[in-house]
Structure 1
Amino acid sequence: MRNIRLTIEYDGTKYNGWQRLGNTENTIQHKLENVLSLMSGENIEVIGSGRTDAGVHALGQVANFHTRSPMTTREILDYCNHYLPQDIVVKKAAEVEERFHARYNAVSKKYMYRIWNSHIPTAFYRKYSYHVPEPLSIEKMRKGTAYLVGKHDFQAFSSVKSKKKSTEREIYSIEILKERERIDILFHGNGFLHNMVRIMTGTLLEIGLGKRKAEEIPLILEGKIREKAGVTAPAQGLFLYEVYY
């Protein structure tokens, strides 16, 4: 049995997220499994590095699957890109050791959230950014990131309902890059809770708009109450940027 690792890019606009769901076939995982199963004549199960929600994109999602197919990795890549929808692209295919697991072997992830900060909206980035028409203070937002970096309990910055699992995570870095109207926030950490990046982004945006102070973040972290943090930024600005192994 061979183990094949895929690096995948997708536009999540019209999909119900990554994970295969019982009530719809409109997921990234289902589309991949369908094409790979037809290719190999086997019932293929694709293991992703993690889920992305409805409307969220990926520049570097990683997945793996097991197969007995004799096709080369180049043939697998070409087959996928011929038969997959055009908004899902396999960028790389490589044979890896049997024990490689896209989810369990991942040591950290990087997400990017893109903002279009201009009074005038954009026609071309509208599906891949969040339009904020009011001026943002990058300096204030960067001040806020300093309080989020490190190991913390991020319960207040997630929509996790269960209290059985740990909500402690470590953020290694948060970069804010600005190029004219476009602002990219890059979050690198050992793991992320459900909606964590979008809630951190919403909080930083409120700081950048002067609606709250950066110094509030330690109190929010300590309080562990979701309602004390900022709004959940919309899905279309979020990208799974890279997975590290």
Structure 2
Amino acid sequence: MVRQDGRHVRIDLGYNGRAFYGSQRQAQVRTVQQELEAVLRQVTRDSDARLAFAGRTDRGVHAVGQVASGTVRWPGELERLRFALDRLTEQDLTVYRVTDVDPAFHARFSARSREYRYRIFVSNHAPVLLQGLVWWIRPPLDIDRLQDAGSRLIGDRDFRSFAGAGAGSGSSELTTRRHLDIAEWSSWAATLEGSGDVYEFRVRANAFLPHMVRNLVGAQIEVGTGRQSPAFVDDLMSARDRRQAPKAAPPDGLTLWAVEYDET
């Protein structure tokens, strides 16, 4: 329910997830929502300030396209509010924009799609400057096989085999069906590290199940390394059983890249 005693705003933010226990509010640990809400209450002197987030990210997962919404008591220019929020948060959390939106806008429920990107550092040596931002895998990793695997994920499908704990087994197709319209791989030289390559998986869907992107990456890496054929992805999709899928990729390489809306 939207409060009537303020202005409804959209907050665009990003964060490095290494020191956060996820995006959502939790007791006795540092989270993105708790930190941003605490600073918002301090700046606006409104103890009731609450925010809704577009996407839930787990511990160690990053974001450059997270969106929050809520009603704030702030009579001045929103750039001043953005500056104050950005100044008072730690350096691993930044506020890009604060804008007025319609009271019906909700960061989560108004979203049309969400895009994640997962990055892998492929090299015989561990990353130094990319540490905590990538999953390190020793070569070989075949990008053509990865592309083949990714193409099998496109469409309106039941992703039960790629759901997180508690969201797959025993769930109905209604709750585990999602529509993916982008699932593609690219690669480039890791010039920042001096050698090696960065492989990136870009995926966009109307919504995601818990741990779904990391589970999708974990399955595709089995194909890219040659341990499984591309048809492995089809088999997992048909099985509709998380127990048949391999271990999830680690959180380090995952970033919430963008959230799209029809209008704000």
TM-score by length of 2: 0.90
Q: Confirm whether residue 121 of structure 1 aligns to residue 126 of structure 2.
A: yes
- For 1:50 and 1:178, how far apart are their aligned partners in 2? 26
| Counterpart in the other structure of 1:208 | 224
Bigger mean CA offset, 219-228 vs 37-46: 219-228
- For 2:216 and 2:145, how far apart are their aligned partners in 1? 14
**Residue from 203, 208, 213 that aligns with 1:192:** 208
- For 1:25 and 1:222, how far apart are their aligned partners in 2? 39
Equivalences, count:
244
Encode CA deviations 1:190-223: one digit per residue, 9 max, x unaligned.
1110111001001111100001111122221111
Q: Confirm whether residue 40 of structure 1 aligns to residue 36 of structure 2.
A: no
- For 2:228 and 2:246, how far apart are their aligned partners in 1? 9
Asked if the contact 1:160/1:193 (under 8 Å) is kept, the reply is no
Q: How does 1:55-66 map to 2 (within 5 A)?
A: 55-66=60-71
Bigger mean CA offset, 161-170 vs 112-121: 161-170
Aligned-pair CA distance for 1:68: 2.1
| Counterpart in the other structure of 1:135 | 140
| Counterpart in the other structure of 2:3 | none
Q: Secondary structure at the match of 1:243?
A: strand
Asked if the contact 2:13/2:64 (under 8 Å) is kept, the reply is yes
Aligned-pair CA distance for 1:49: 0.3
Encode CA deviations 1:21-62: one digit per residue, 9 max, x unaligned.
1x2240000000000001111121011002100000001000
- For 1:72 and 1:148, how far apart are their aligned partners in 2? 44
- For 2:205 and 2:55, how far apart are their aligned partners in 1? 14
- For 1:231 and 1:128, how far apart are their aligned partners in 2? 19
Q: Confirm whether residue 224 of structure 1 aligns to residue 237 of structure 2.
A: no
Q: Secondary structure at the match of 1:200?
A: helix
Q: Confirm whether residue 244 of structure 1 aligns to residue 254 of structure 2.
A: no
Q: Secondary structure at the match of 1:29?
A: helix
**Residue from 31, 34, 39 that aligns with 1:30:** 34
Bigger mean CA offset, 38-47 vs 163-172: 163-172
**Residue from 17, 20, 36 that aligns with 1:12:** 17
Instruction: Structure 2: state its 5+ residue gaps.
Output: 1-5, 190-196
Letter in 2 for 1:195: H
Q: Secondary structure at the match of 1:148?
A: coil
Instruction: Structure 1: state its 5+ residue gaps.
Output: none
Letter in 2 for 1:123: V
Q: Confirm whether residue 166 of structure 1 aligns to residue 171 of structure 2.
A: no
Letter in 1 for 2:220: L
- For 2:247 and 2:13, how far apart are their aligned partners in 1? 29
Letter in 2 for 1:30: Q
- For 2:9 and 2:178, how far apart are their aligned partners in 1? 29
Letter in 2 for 1:240: L
- For 1:25 and 1:7, how far apart are their aligned partners in 2? 23
**Residue from 93, 97, 100 that aligns with 1:95:** 100
- For 2:76 and 2:256, how far apart are their aligned partners in 1? 29
Bigger mean CA offset, 66-75 vs 187-196: 66-75
